[in-house]
A and B are shown apart, each in its own frame.
Chain A
């Protein structure tokens, strides 16, 4: 079956630094990828839609200058959390559709100290 690889799986960073998370579709091309965030005991919430070769579209309330998304190829999307703060600590997960199916990365647990 299709595989989406996300890394790192876990990262701890200091306040004010930036963290890059990568999401790769390994055996299919993904013109669109989705980035979700999950706070404890909450459902996953869509942050942004990453579009290959064009600008990402962000959900209301998500700062595009803080969460930089780049989708430079058909198999790779990156999410960079810039100037991270403790409130950005969360679980981030990407997803790529392949036809009607949805495939998920392993997720990234970000802790900002």
Chain B
């Protein structure tokens, strides 16, 4: 079993829909990251969370440390949101390296 599990693996939505991507992890963590990977491969950090909730524009990320679960929400989705979204955790005692989920491929149709 992977230490970081994401669902769904693939997600197709219509423009304007509310989107949720889920992440569960099995290790103790000091931080959880949500990342966005575009087709060329480049990775952008969206959020870093250790507790609670963060919001940037139409993106919202939440984390429940007790349940070892995090969600990424996109409100009013747009075709330009199409990308792979990756959940990654920094485990306790690590040097700072991350353990990654397999990613969720999101496609938003106009």
- Scan A11-46; emit 1 where CB is below 8 A from any B CB, else 0: 000000000000000000000101010100111111
Residue B73 CB within 8 A of the other chain: no
For chains A and B in complex, what number of residue pairs have CB atoms within 8 angstroms?
Answer: 61
Nearest CB on B from A62, distance (A):
13
Number of B residues contacting the other chain (C-beta, 8 Å)?
Answer: 26
| Also in contact, A43 and B41, with CB within 8 A (given A34-B96, A100-B31) | no
From A101, A102, A106, B41 is in contact (CB under 8 Å) with: A106
Q: How far in angstroms is the closest Cβ of chain B from A16?
A: 25
Interface size on A, as a range, is 20 to 34
Q: Check if A103 is an interface residue, CB within 8 A of chain B.
A: yes
Given the known A-B contacts A34-B96, A42-B102, are A91 and B41 also in contact in the complex, defined by CB atoms under 8 Å?
A: yes
CA distance A63 to B98 in the complex (A): 20
Given A42-B102, A43-B2, A43-B103 in contact, is the A103-B97 Cβ separation under 8 Å? no
Known: A42-B102, A43-B103, A100-B48. A49 touches B97 (CB 8 A): yes
Q: Across the interface, do A95 and B98 meet the contact criterion of CB distance under 8 Å?
A: yes
> Which residue of A34, A45, A101, A106 contacts B42 across the interface (Cβ within 8 Å)?
A106
Bound CA span A101–B32, Å: 10
Query: Contacts A43-B2, A102-B33, A102-B48 hold; do A93 and B96 have CB atoms under 8 A apart?
Result: no
| Interface secondary structure of A, over-half rule | strand
Instruction: Determine the chain B residues whose CB is within 8 A of the CB of A46 once the complex forms.
Output: 97-99
Given contacts A34-B96, A100-B48, contact A107 B101 (CB under 8 A): no
